[in-house]
Amino acid sequence: MAGETRSLFGPKELRRIGHQVRMARERERLTQNQVANAAGISPRAIRELEAGRSNPALATIVAIVDQLDLTLDELVEAARSAPPGPDITRAGDVGDGETALVRTLADPRMTSRIVRQGEPTAVAPHPGVPHPGNAAFYHVLAGTIAVDVDGHALRLKRGDSLHVDAGVDGNWRPEGGESRVLIVEAGGAPGGVPGGVPHT
């Protein structure tokens, strides 16, 4: 029996339990301090649990789940379930338009995609790809792009990066040839939220 307990609650299992607790807490829009105070435990105990660095007593776990929309059965199931394997996108799979890079994570905090655009058309003004509605990070993998950020015109070459805050107006477009841009968006869903990069 002791061997089974060690097998169930090893480092990987504890990380899965911590992840479930963190996701439940964030769904309830509670801070670690709020949960700790309500459960009568220290904030450090919550931090260590969510990070998967502690194996708390059953009484501590019960006190925590009582404050969240979570059950002990869900935690045990999370500990026993195997997470999905690595999600690999090969270079040959990156075609024209948008290629989502996050496909297997259940509730990603960030989404990432590669957008590949051909040379802009001769139509003026050139149509651009709008910035996402959420905060976003751009990294130019190939080519050069022209970026409009709240009325400021920028030019980014291969290897350049840019952070754009949430709610920023503007867009970007390839300049003088094909471009590939990695976009990491906070709290977004590839191609599925307002302001997201549309499929082409």
Q: Which of 16-25, 100-109, 155-164, 169-178 is the most confident on average?
A: 155-164
The Cα–Cα gap between 43 and 47 comes to 6
Residues 60 and 116 in one domain: no
In which residue are the tokens 């990066």 written?
161
Show the tokens assigned to 19: 């992840």
Q: Where are the beta strands (DSSP E) in 30-132?
A: 97-100, 110-117, 129-130
Please identify, among 29, 57, 80, the residue that sits at the C-terminal boundary of a domain. 80
pLDDT for 194 equals 33
Residues 76 and 55 in one domain: yes
Tell me: pLDDT of 5 over 80: no
pLDDT for 2 equals 44
Please identify, among 45, 80, 115, the residue that sits at the C-terminal boundary of a domain. 80
Amino acid (one-letter) located at 19? H
Number of domains in the chain: 2
For residues 117 and 154, the answer to whether their CB atoms sit within 8 Å is no
* Cβ-proximal residues to 163 (8 Å cutoff; 6+ apart), any chain: 135, 136, 137, 138
Instruction: Give how far Cα 150 sits from Cα of 72, 116, 171, Å.
Output: 48, 23, 9
Which residue range forms the structural domain that includes residue 30? 2-80
Give 179's pLDDT tier (boundaries 50, 70, 90): confident
Please identify, among 51, 80, 109, the residue that sits at the C-terminal boundary of a domain. 80
Task: Residue 157: count other Cβ atoms within 10 Å of its Cβ.
Answer: 12
Asked whether residue 108 is domain-assigned, the answer is: yes
Tell me: pLDDT of 159 over 90: yes
Quote the pTM value: 0.53
Asked whether residue 46 is domain-assigned, the answer is: yes
Tell me: pLDDT of 68 over 50: yes
Tell me: pLDDT of 156 over 90: yes
Residues 119 and 75 in one domain: no
Asked whether residue 192 is domain-assigned, the answer is: no
pLDDT for 173 equals 85
Find, among 23, 182, 183, 30, the residue nearest to 106 by Cα: 23
* Cβ-proximal residues to 72 (8 Å cutoff; 6+ apart), any chain: 61, 62, 65
For residues 109 and 185, the answer to whether their CB atoms sit within 8 Å is no
Beta bridge mates, 147 = 154, 172
